[in-house]
Amino acid sequence: MSEFHLDFRDTATAFADKSDAVLKEKYRMFKMMGSPFLSGLGTGAARFALSIGLPIDGLVKRTVFEHFCGGETIEESQATIDQLGRAGIGTILDYSVEGRRSEDDFDATTDEIIRTVHRARGDANIPFSVFKMSGIAPLGTLERMSSRKKLDAKSQMKCESIHRRVERICDEAAKIGQPVFIDAEETWVQDAIDRLADEMMERHNRGRVLIYNTIQLYRKDRLQFLRESRKTANAKGYLIGMKLVRGAYMEKERERAAEMGYESPIQPDKESTDSDYDAAVNYCLDHLDEISFVAGTHNDESTFKLAERMHREGIANDHPHIYFSQLYGMSDNLSYVLAKHGYNVSKYVPYGPVRDTLPYLIRRAEENTSTAGQVSRELVMIKAELERRGVA
Ligand SMILES: Cc1cc2nc3c(=O)[nH]c(=O)nc-3n(C[C@H](O)[C@H](O)[C@H](O)COP(=O)(O)OP(=O)(O)OC[C@H]3O[C@@H](n4cnc5c(N)ncnc54)[C@H](O)[C@@H]3O)c2cc1C
C-alpha cells in the first residue's frame, strides 16, 4: 500500500489563489471576528441601524459579506464559482435569505431555489443544490407538524403549501438529475423536515441518490436515527443520501430545553459529539453501497480520519458516494488540500441581498467567536502563509 499523506498545514496550496493583499484583508477580518463590531451584528442596535437605513449595509458588504458570501445574486457569484472550480472545488449555491414570513415570500424563495437547481444543470462546478426548510415554510407550522398533534384547518392548508413547495424543488431537481441537500435545523422543527426528506428520498433515490437529508451529530439520538433510516430505506428499496454535520444551534437548543424544563437533546460535551460524528462517518463507510454521504465539517481530525480509512480500504479518493464539504470563507486548508489530492470537495457559497443574509453571517460570526479555536485556526493558517511568503 502506498504511504498515506495529507497535510492540512499546506498553506501554499490552501491560499494559492489569494494575493498577499487579499490574505492580509482576511487576516484583519478574522482578527475583527472577536471584536464588539462583529458580535454587535446580532444585537438590536445593528438591526435598528439597518431598519432606519443607516449605511451599515456597505460596511457589512465590504467585510464579512465579501468573505463569507458569493454575491447578492447567482450572477454575482459567478466569479466565486469560477475561482473554486479552477482549484477543483465545487460550489453549492445557497440562497441564504432567512427570516421572511409571508406565503408569497416562501413561494418567491422556492422559485429562487429552483433557479439554483437549473443553474447547476450540466455544470460540473456545481455538484449539489441546497435548501433550508425554514426558507420556504413558517416555523410555527413546522413546529406543529413536528409535534404530531392534529392540525387545525389553517395549519393543514399551510402544511399542504409546504409540501407542494418541497415537491416542486425536488421533482424539478429529479427531472434534470441534480442532487439536492435539505439542511437540518432546530430539534423542534426537525421531525417535519425529516418526514418530508424521507418522502422525497423514497420517491427519488431509486438506483441513484438525488435527495440528501442532514443529521446533526451534536444530538444524542442521531446515530440511531441514521441506522433506522438505512433500515427503512433498505426495506422500501431506496437509497439514502446523508449530509453529516455536528450542528449549528447548540446554545439555542440548550437554552430552550432549560427554559421549558425538558432534557437537552444535545450531547453533554464536545467529545461525545466528536465521537458520534466519527461513528456516523464510519457507519456510512460500512454501508457505502446503500448510502451516499457528505462530510460537512471543518474539523481536521474527522476529515483526516475519513480520508485515512478510505486509503486503508482502497476506496478511490473520488468515490462518487463520498463528498467533503466546507463553508465558503472557512477552512480553505481542508478544501484546497483535499481537492489537490483528487477528493470530491465542495463549498457552500451563500448569496442573497446583504441584509437578508445577516442571520447567516451572525451565525458564522458567533461560531467563529464562540467555537473554541475556529477563528484562531484560520488566523494561524493565514499568518503561516503570510510568513512563508515573507510578507507578514
Ligand atoms: C457543508 C456544511 C453544511 C452544513 N449544514 C448544516 C446544517 O444543515 N445544519 C446545521 O445545523 N449545521 C450545518 N452546518 C454547520 C455545522 O453543523 C457546524 O456548526 C460547523 O461546521 C462546526 O462544526 P465542525 O464539524 O466544522 O467542527 P468543530 O469546530 O470541531 O465543532 C464545533 C461543533 O461541535 C459541537 N460542539 C461544540 N461544543 C460542544 C459541546 N460543549 N457539547 C456538544 N457539542 C459541542 C457543535 O455542534 C459545534 O458547532 C454545516 C456545515 C458545513 C461545513
Please answer whether residues 249 and 186 qualify as being in contact, where contact means their C-beta atoms are separated by less than 8 angstroms: yes
Helix (H, G, I), strand (E, B) or coil at 146: helix
pLDDT confidence of residue 56: 65
CA distances for 112 relative to 69, 135, 171, 351, angstroms: 16, 11, 15, 11
**What CA–CA distance (Å, rounded) separates 152 from 369?**
42
Q: Phi and psi dihedrals of 52, rounded to 5? A: -95, 10
Mean pLDDT, to the nearest integer, of 116-145?
Answer: 97
Which atom of ligand 1 has the smallest separation from the CA of 269?
Answer: 42
Report which protein residue has its CA nearest ligand 1's atom 8. Answer: 183
pLDDT at 52 over 60: no
Confidence of residue 54 (pLDDT cuts 50, 70, 90): low
pLDDT confidence of residue 365: 74
Which atom of ligand 1 has the smallest separation from the CA of 325?
Answer: 1
The alpha carbon of residue 63 and the mean position of all alpha carbons in its chain are separated, in whole angstroms, by 21
Please answer whether residues 293 and 323 qualify as being in contact, where contact means their C-beta atoms are separated by less than 8 angstroms: yes
Ligand 1 in reach of 248 Cβ (< 6 A):
yes
Distance (Å) from CA 297 to ligand 1 centroid: 7
Percent of the chain whose pLDDT exceeds 70: 92
pLDDT confidence of residue 151: 94
Confidence of residue 27 (pLDDT cuts 50, 70, 90): very high
Mean pLDDT of all residues belonging to the chain: 92
Q: Tens digit of pLDDT for each residue in 255-310?
A: 999 999 999 999 999 999 999 999 999 999 999 999 999 999 999 999 999 999 99
Report which protein residue has its CA nearest ligand 1's atom 42. Answer: 269
Lowest mean pLDDT, pick from 53-57, 60-64, 114-118, 149-153: 53-57
**What CA–CA distance (Å, rounded) separates 281 from 290?**
13
Instruction: Quickly tell me which residue has 432546530 as its cell.
Output: 186
Which atom of ligand 1 has the smallest separation from the CA of 268?
Answer: 42
pLDDT confidence of residue 36: 57
pLDDT confidence of residue 55: 63
